[in-house]
Structure 1
Amino acid sequence: MILVTGVTGRVGREVARLLGGVRPLRVLARDPGRVPVAGGVPEVVVGDYADRGSLARALEGVAAAFVVTVPGAGGGEDDARFAEAARAAGVRHLVKVSAAAVTDPYADDFITRWQRGAEDVIRSCGVGWTFLRPRSFMSNTLSWASAIRSQGVVRAVHGTSVNACVDPRDVAEVAVRVLTEDGHQGMAYLLTGPEALSAVDQTERLSRVLGRCLRFEELGLGQAWELWSARYPEPVARALLESAERQLAGAKAQVGPAVSEVTGRPARPFGVWAADHAAAFALPAAPGGA
Structure 2
Amino acid sequence: MILVTGATGTVGREVARQLAADHAVRLMSRTPVCPSVPGPRVETAVADFARPGRLGRALSGVRAAFLVTSHPVEPHDERFLEAAVAEGVSHVVKLSAAVVDDDTEDFLTVRQRVTEEAVRSCGIAWTLLRPRAFMSNTLSWADRIGRDGTVGALYGSTPNAPVDPRDVARVAVRALTEGGHAGRTYTLVGPEELSARAQTRILGDVLGRRLRFREWTVREAREHLARRHPPRVVEALLQRADLQARGGKSLRGDALASLTGRAAGTFRGWADDHAHCFPGG
Bucket of the pairwise TM-score, normalised by the shorter protein: over 0.9
Secondary structure in structure 1 of the residue aligned to 2:215: strand
Secondary structure in structure 1 of the residue aligned to 2:257: helix
Aligned to 1:122: 119
Aligned to 1:157: 154
For residues 77-96 of structure 1, the aligned pairs below 5 Å read 77-96=75-94
- Measure how far apart 1:280 and its partner are: 1.5
Aligned to 2:67: 67
Q: Does 1:199 align with 2:222?
A: no
Alpha-carbon distance between aligned partners in 1 of 2:256 and 2:271, rounded to the nearest angstrom = 19
Secondary structure in structure 2 of the residue aligned to 1:70: coil
Secondary structure in structure 1 of the residue aligned to 2:111: helix
For residues 1-290 of structure 1, the aligned pairs below 5 Å read 1-39=1-39, 42-72=42-72, 75-104=73-102, 106-283=103-280
Alpha-carbon distance between aligned partners in 1 of 2:93 and 2:141, rounded to the nearest angstrom = 31
Alpha-carbon distance between aligned partners in 2 of 1:109 and 1:36, rounded to the nearest angstrom = 37
Alpha-carbon distance between aligned partners in 1 of 2:46 and 2:35, rounded to the nearest angstrom = 10
Q: Give CA deviations for 1:146-193 in whole Å, capped at 9, x if unaligned.
A: 111221111111010011010111111110011001000000000010
Aligned to 1:288: none
- Measure how far apart 1:283 and its partner are: 2.6
- Measure how far apart 1:39 and its partner are: 4.0
Q: Give CA deviations for 1:72-121 in whole Å, capped at 9, x if unaligned.
A: 2xx421111111111111111000000101111x2111111111000011
For the aligned residues, what is the CA RMSD?
A: 1.3
- Can you give the 5+ residue segments of structure 1 that lack an aligned partner in the other structure? 285-290
- Can you give the 5+ residue segments of structure 2 that lack an aligned partner in the other structure? none
- Matched residue type, 1:239: A
Alpha-carbon distance between aligned partners in 1 of 2:152 and 2:226, rounded to the nearest angstrom = 16
Secondary structure in structure 1 of the residue aligned to 2:45: strand
Matched pairs, number: 281
